[in-house]
Amino acid sequence: MDHLRWMLVLSNIRGMRDGAFVPVVQGRTITLTEIDGEISGLVQADVRRRTGSQEAPPIVLAAFSDPRLVSRRYENCTLATALWDAGAALGQTHAALSAQGIGSCIVSSAISGELESGLPASLVSCVHVGSLMAGELA
């Protein structure tokens, strides 16, 4: 699943800044780098539209896939493979959160192209392949 990239969107979590973040791995260290605030609004709007909620969830984990990396391994069905892999990763994340008593739900399989204009360099060549929301809505 080396073709998957992640974005974390946080909203109204005590002690944490609202915004969209991408993980940056350097050796054994993972840091979160903040990205354009407009993207977090687009991701949250997509989740609200799909769930019928009026408010943004505290956490949205959005999965993106780089089709070039998938196509190196598989000649056909690259989007289907990306969706399957994202679904498996998001499903495992849902199970881990549930085991800790944190409510979560996989809420989308793909966002249309409106995100593409503001993506950071690490996600520019990627397509959105799924999201998971977590935490309690007020």
**Tens digits of residue pLDDT in 58-73:** 999 999 888 888 888 7
Q: What is the pLDDT of residue 101?
A: 92
102-128 residue pLDDT tens: 999 888 766 555 555 566 666 777 888
| pLDDT on residue 97 | 93
- Judging by beta carbons within 10 Å of its beta carbon (0-12, 13-18, 19+), is residue 35 exposed, middle or buried? buried
pTM of the model: 0.83
Average pLDDT over residues 39-59: 82
Q: Kindly tell me if the per-residue pLDDT of 96 is higher than 90.
A: yes
Domains and CATH numbers, the chain: 4-134 (3.40.109.10)
Return the DSSP state at 15. Answer: T
Three-state SS at 49: helix
pLDDT at 100: 93
Mean pLDDT of the chain: 83
Residues 132 and 60: beta-carbon distance below 8 Å: yes
Amino acid symbol at 100: Q
Output the pLDDT for position 48. Answer: 80
Bigger pLDDT: 111 or 19? 19
pLDDT attached to residue 79: 80
